[in-house]
Each structure stands twice: as structure tokens, then as C-alpha cells.
Amino acid sequence: MKTEIVYAPKLPQRSQFPANSVLFYDRILDRQPSFKQWRRAFSYAFPLTAGESLKTLDSLQKILKIMVSKGLPQTTELTFIAVGGGSVGDFVGFLASIFLRGRNFVQIPSTWLAAIDSAHGGKNGLNFNAVKNQIGTIYPASQVYLVRTLLESQPIEREDEAFGEVLKMAIINTPKILQNKVKSPLFDSLPELISAKMKIVKMDPDEKRGARRVLNLGHTVGHVLESLFQLPHGEAVKLGILFSARWSFQLGLLKQPDFVQIWKAVHSRGDNDLQTLLGKISFTEVRHLLSKDKKLVSSTEIDFIFISKIGKVLRRKVSLDSLINEMRRQKQEY
């Protein structure tokens, strides 16, 4: 299904959405009087508490019970609208894909990370057994609204948190994102960033052919760090990209000037240090987390995305042992 992307200066009027619409929103947005006013126009509006604990079967069951008790109109026109960051989008996207075997889904991202990345391409997910996105479907939104006032209402840290996904797209297929620096305000860079992602998604929409896997750059080690240290997703991905760049450089796949440029970009934002975090982890725990990773190709091997230059990545199978050995090596390097 094709997703329509709508750029809007402010939140669209209630009349733009189908009559049988159900709104799910990040409760933090109620701090904004204009948002509170807007959402009051919906007869069914459910606040959600954002974060990884939302993306669980427990909260899914809780919400399903509340929805059923409120007697939602169970029609074919039922539309689920998600207003929030990636956690709200992933949760509501999954819900929309299973409720009555799937109903219309609309996303209105309220974080940069969601506007750049998670609202596009249709993936959703719940965490299970301490493993991120273990359960999920591919169920694209019919529309994604990118609302300037909503996105620009975020504190500046959220822009830094999204930077990992911005850097990812620059390294995969759009080097000019790094060369020109991301435009400020970030809202004006959205078309370029989204089209960089969608070029890859179109080659492999259901992730069956492998092409889409390059979007996992930085996510193998990123997810481990995100789970162990509760880092924001984009921040963890940024450190995962540094890990991949170091490994690629060590193997002679990546030349020094590009490595240095990536290193500088990673260190231009945020204060988490990869080596310090690697120094704090238990490798037994890491092995356990990796053994549940969706990128595993067998019980001992995983698909890993290396970098050959800014603008080109390589997908290779590596053994879990070599990945963990590299984490040990990077912990001691410098």
C-alpha cells in the first residue's frame, strides 16, 4: 500500500479524518494547550505513556480491554491515528494491523526520530522477553502527516537523539546530508531524509529480499546498548554506527578520511562514549541479547552492515563470536 505524505504547518482539522477515527496520543502532548484543544474534537481519544514499556503485550492487552469497553465502532472505516514518537507509532501500528485483522492506520509523528524514520516503511513492533521489536508486522500507514508546529515543539535534545538515524541515511546512500550539514530547521530536511529511506524500502518493502537490511546499519550493537543502558534509540544507533565504522576500518574496508569524518560526526552530538559503555557490559548478557536478534541468519551467524565509504555499505554474515571479539577489541583499543 502506498503511503501519502502530507506536510502541514499545523495539526489538520478533525474533518480531514474519517468519522470513525480513534486517536492514540503521547500523553506528554497534553502539556501543549493547542494540542489538548485539538484532540478534544475526537470522541475516542486514548492517551499513552511513551517509551519501551508501552511496546509490550501487557500494554496491548490493557488498551484492547479499554477499547472494547468503550464500544468502538467496529466498522470497516475504523481508522487508528497515532500521534507521538516511535514508541507510540510502533505500538499503534501493530494494534491497527491486528485489530479486526487490520484497519486503516494514520501516523502523525511528534518526534524527529519518528518523522525521519519510524513513521515510514511500515514496520512496527513490540518488545518481548527483553528483546526489542521481537513481535511485529509490516503495515504501512495510509497517510503520514508531518506537522511543523508539533515537531518544532520538541526540546532540542530530541534533535540530537534523532541524529543517529540521520547519520545512517547519509552513510547508506545520501552523503550530501553530511556534506551540506543537515538544514536547520530540521523540518526542511525531512523530504530529503525520507526519500533516502524510501529508496531502500521500495527495493524490498517486506524485507524478504535483503536489500532493506542495510537500514540496520548501527542497529546490531545499537540495540544491545539501547537495551542495556536505556539509551534513546537514535543515540544508541549513532554509537552502533561508530562500532561498525571502527570494525570496517580495522578490516581495511573503510579508508581513513571517511572513518575520520564519521568519527567527527558521531562526536559532534551527545556525551555517551562507546568505549566507556563497552567497558561496562557483560559479554554473557550481550551474547544472550544477540542470540535473540532478528538479524541472525543461523544460531551462530548474524547479518552485519559494514561501511565501505560514506554513501556505500556492505552486508556480510559474521559469526557471533567474531562480533563479540570485536566488541572486546574496541573496549580495549585507543
Site for ligand NAD, rule CB under 6 A: 26, 28, 50-52, 55, 84-88, 90, 110-111, 113-114, 117-118, 121, 123-124, 132-133, 150, 153-155, 158, 161, 232-233
Taking alpha carbons only, the member of 167, 133, 161 closest to residue 313 is 167
CA distance to 11, 67, 128, per residue, from 41 (Å): 12, 18, 35
The closest of 32, 20, 43 to 84, measured between CA atoms, is: 32
Those residues whose C-beta lies under 8 Å from the C-beta of residue 78, and which sit 6 or more positions away, are 20, 21, 22, 72, 99, 100, 103, 104
Based on CB atoms, which residue is closest to ligand NAD, 78 or 88?
Answer: 88
Q: How far is the CB of 92 from ligand NAD (least distance, A)?
A: 11
* Other beta carbons within 10 Å of 329: 13
Cell numbers given for 220: 546490531
In whole angstroms, what is the distance from residue 254 CA to residue 285 CA?
Answer: 29
Comparison of 159 and 326: residue with beta carbon closer to ligand NAD: 159
Q: How far is the CB of 75 from ligand NAD (least distance, A)?
A: 27
Question: How many whole angstroms separate alpha carbon 69 and alpha carbon 74?
Answer: 12
Residue 234 Cβ vs ligand NAD, minimum distance, rounded to whole Å = 6
* Shortest distance, position 48 Cβ to ligand NAD, whole Å: 9
Integer distance in angstroms from the first to the last C-alpha of the chain? 48
34/75 with CB nearer ligand NAD: 34
Nearer to ligand NAD by Cβ, of 161 and 258: the residue is 161
In the complex, the smallest distance separating the C-beta of residue 254 from ligand NAD, rounded to whole angstroms, is 24
Tell the smallest beta-carbon distance from residue 14 to ligand NAD (Å): 20
Comparing every residue's Cβ against ligand NAD, the nearest one is 86
The one-character DSSP state at 230 is: -
> What is the distance between the alpha carbons of residues 163 and 242, in angstroms, rounded to a whole number?
13
Residue with smaller CB distance to ligand NAD, 4 or 77 = 4
| Closest distance to ligand NAD from the beta carbon of 241 (Å) | 14
Handedness of CA 248, 254, 257, 262 (dihedral sign): negative
Minimum Å distance from CB 292 to ligand NAD?
Answer: 15
Considering the complex, state which of residue 117 and residue 303 has its C-beta at the smaller distance from ligand NAD: 117
| Residue nearer to ligand NAD on the CB measure, 113 or 245 | 113
Instruction: Report residue 83 CA to chain centroid gap.
Output: 15
**d(C-alpha 221, C-alpha 243), whole Å:** 7
